[in-house]
Amino acid sequence: MNLNQVTIYSKFPVETVEFFEKLGLRRIVDSLPRYARLECPDGESTLSVHIGENISSNNGITLYFECEELDEKVAELRALGLSFDEEPTDREWFGREAYLSDPNNNKICLFYAGENRKNPPWRVK
């Protein structure tokens, strides 16, 4: 099994798509303002944005996007006008993370953990 896609329901679908395009995702289906699907620049995963009305923020979900050159990516996104809730920070679990929010207030984490992403020292054998 492979994670194919994640769908975000949004009151602001156009702004949400533009936000993820700034992150580097590429639009592959465009039926805005109702729906759009974006493709990650690496791998096979996609992200859909679908218009929704009764959306509650603080849904307890964080979307993680891996970036090998994390600090450079953060600087690039800042130059595009995005602001970060938390600057790139080394973590005790052997990764480096930076956080920002999409137009729907969903938490987005840009991170790099190298080999530790799937193989941390505490991985189940």
pTM higher than 0.95: no
CATH 3.30.1330.10 fits 67-125, yes or no: no
| Confidence band of 37 (pLDDT split at 50, 70, 90) | very high
Distances, alpha carbon 19 to alpha carbons 14, 81, 83, 101, 119, in Å: 9, 10, 11, 10, 31
Domain 1-51: homologous superfamily in CATH: 2,3-Dihydroxybiphenyl 1,2-Dioxygenase, domain 1 (3.10.180.10)
Q: Which residues in the chain are classed under CATH 3.10.180.10? A: 1-51, 67-125
Q: What is the mean pLDDT of residues 45-73?
A: 88
Asked whether 106 and 9 are in contact (CB, 8 A), the reply is no
Provide the 10 A C-beta neighbour count for residue 73.
18
As a whole number, the mean pLDDT across the chain is 93
